[in-house]
Amino acid sequence: MANFVDDKDDPSYLPPEPPKKPKIDRTNVSMHLVEYQLAMVGKTLAEAKDNPLWYSDWTMTTAQHEEFKKYAIPLLKKVFKYNTKKAQNTFDWFNLQFGLRIKD
């Protein structure tokens, strides 16, 4: 029987680092917000790609929408260096394009 040494018993062993998420910037903020919104309702981007009627099938509550808005507007202000009004306008545009319907 072979004598195997578990790497974790080696004092110099370092566990592999988890993959780093890319920094949210102008190039990926839209995708990040879509993924964040879908995660709030228990869905993924892969599920949305598989369901052509995702926009009409999936909804969020008013409370979820307000929570999403509270997350998205400060993020847009930070990423784009917008003032509050411009960030709100950008969020409204994003919500019209990609936002889930609100249904209580």
Asked if residue 1 has pLDDT above 60, the reply is: no
Domain count, the chain: 1
Nearest residue to 102 via CA among 46, 51, 63: 63
Tell me the CA distances in angstroms from 54 to 23, 75, 96, 99, one per residue in order: 27, 25, 15, 11
Say how far apart CA 8 and CA 98 lie, in whole Å: 46
8 pLDDT band, cuts 50/70/90, is: low
pTM: 0.78
Averaged confidence pLDDT in the chain:
90
Say how far apart CA 61 and CA 64 lie, in whole Å: 5
Task: Tell whether 3 is covered by a domain.
Answer: no
Name the residue range of residue 61's domain: 23-102
Task: Tell whether 34 is covered by a domain.
Answer: yes
